[in-house]
Amino acid sequence: MSFRIIGTGMYVPPKAVTNDDLAQIVDTNDEWISKRVGVKERRVSETEFTSEMGAKAAQAALDDAGVKAQDLDMILAASVSGETVSPSMACMVQHRLGATCPAMELNAACAAFLYLLETAAAFFALHKDYKRILVVGCERMSGILDWTDRSTCVIFGDGSGAAVLERGEGYLDSVITVKGGDDVIKIPHFLGCSPFFKTEQDTPYIHMKGQETFKYAVTAIAQDITTLLERNHLTIDDIAWIVPHQANKRIIDFACHKLGISTEKMFVNIEKYGNTSSASVPMALHELKESGKLQRGDKVILCAFGGGLSNAACLIEY
């Protein structure tokens, strides 16, 4: 017994920042960003905190599902860019929604939405009376970017995506993997101002080695999808859609090359939003559903990868 997805929602702040806008801030241009990353514009919050965006996506998912906040049994949230460490974004979303259920946050960086689904499946198994769980990835990535670093600030964007899960049989299989360490991707915290702590602090922004990240991500996608297909005796033709983490269009395209599959199997919307970390998979899933291209009963693979290094994929029947 696991769950099925009965509603999805997303929210992005209204301000769009184009590649030409970024060229005014750092030494870059539209052609370079489009070719290297596949992003044309991204949304950036001017006033809204992370949990505000999370609550708006969550409310949209609740409305889509026809579920009231008071009817939720659990809220699970993920973020690497919350406005507070405590309360967690889950607690803030719970408060903003007017829900009364337990709420908790987890961190698996850009792979976190898959870890939220896995955790939700575990809660459904543990608590037989749980009927509905809300999962939400919410990010204000613009707050953790070094806006003088053209190799990272052009990639990311702000946004939030959510899904309402109801007890059911739609979560068919999953694979989660962590290869620990901070040498490829890291987002250091502000470590405080203790007069006793002598270690030099890294800037509290995203630090990422591009080539290593690319290689890790492509390998993770290809291995996780292959594992799910083999373990479930499926071929790629049995899968209606793959919804990958929208990290970089070239990662997605090269993963298709490695898997020997058409890029048309992958749902991609990175050109509009950039990499929104934990929000990217639910945002893409929502847009896929809204496009009318996703049908009930379709088999879909969701996959994601990011800092940790954490990667995960799951097979669902929508």
Partner 1 sequence: MVQEKIIAMLAEATDTDASEITADTKFADLGIDSLDMTEMAMDLEDEFGITLEMTPELNTVGKLAEAVEKLTAEG
Work out whether 205 is an interface residue with partner 1 (CB under 8 A).
no
Contact, 246 vs 275, CB < 8 A? yes
- List 275, 286, 303, 314, catalytic entry: 275
Work out whether 36 is an interface residue with partner 1 (CB under 8 A).
yes
Looking at 42-50, 152-160, 212-220, 297-305, which segment touches partner 1 (CB under 8 A)?
Answer: 212-220
Work out whether 215 is an interface residue with partner 1 (CB under 8 A).
yes
Q: Which is nearer to partner 1, 89 or 218 (CB)?
A: 218
Work out whether 218 is an interface residue with partner 1 (CB under 8 A).
yes
- List 138, 153, 207, 245, catalytic entry: 245
Q: Which is nearer to partner 1, 113 or 254 (CB)?
A: 254
CB of 202 to partner 1, least distance (A): 23
Looking at 47-55, 209-217, 264-272, 286-294, which segment touches partner 1 (CB under 8 A)?
Answer: 209-217
Q: Which of 250, 206, 221, 212 is nearest to 38 (CA)?
A: 250
CB of 248 to partner 1, least distance (A): 8
245 is catalytic: yes
Q: Which of 134, 40, 152 is nearest to 89 (CA)?
A: 134
101 is catalytic: no
Residues 220-259 that bind partner 1 (CB under 8 A): 250, 254, 257-258
Work out whether 214 is an interface residue with partner 1 (CB under 8 A).
yes
* Spatial distance between the Cα atoms of 249 and 185, rounded to a whole number of angstroms: 18
Q: Which of 37, 139, 51, 123 is nearest to 87 (CA)?
A: 51
Looking at 62-70, 166-174, 210-218, 259-267, which segment touches partner 1 (CB under 8 A)?
Answer: 210-218
Work out whether 47 is an interface residue with partner 1 (CB under 8 A).
no
- The residue from 24, 86, 199, 211 that contacts partner 1 (CB under 8 A) is 211
Work out whether 3 is an interface residue with partner 1 (CB under 8 A).
no
Bridge partners (DSSP) of residue 236 are: none
Q: How many residues bind partner 1 (CB under 8 A)?
A: 12
- List 91, 110, 256, 303, catalytic entry: 110
Contact, 187 vs 307, CB < 8 A? yes
Work out whether 123 is an interface residue with partner 1 (CB under 8 A).
no
Q: Which is nearer to partner 1, 15 or 40 (CB)?
A: 40
The amino acid present at 79, given as its one-letter code, is: S
275 is catalytic: yes
Tell me which residues touch partner 1 (CB under 8 A): 35-36, 210-211, 214-215, 218-219, 250, 254, 257-258
| Residue positions annotated with a catalytic role | 110, 245, 275
